[in-house]
Amino acid sequence: ALIPPLAGADYLQTQRERLPCILKYGLKDTIQVNGKTYAEQMPGVPTLSPVQIANILNYVNHSGGNELPAYRLDEVEAYLNSCQ
């Protein structure tokens, strides 16, 4: 598989602060999800607003059997301000 799973993905828990940046700016390096390495690039969507990013992440965090804490808008904004 080229694309990592979202359901039950440990990456959603361990990389919480990176996820808003990945949605907005994309990902070009390899990542580890549930012990497996993935190297497929993910394009970002730079037009997404912080509200849209929070909504997407909250959907993912509560679908596919995931029961993860919700993102707050101020949290997403802070993470986006620290993207590198």
- Closest by alpha carbon to 43, among 28, 63, 64? 28
Tokens at residue 66, please?
Answer: 């995931």
Please count the other Cβ atoms lying within 10 Å of the Cβ belonging to residue 53.
Answer: 23
In this predicted structure, what is the pLDDT of residue 2? 86
**Per-residue model confidence as pLDDT tens digits over 8-65:** 999 999 999 999 999 999 999 999 999 999 999 999 999 999 999 999 999 999 999 9
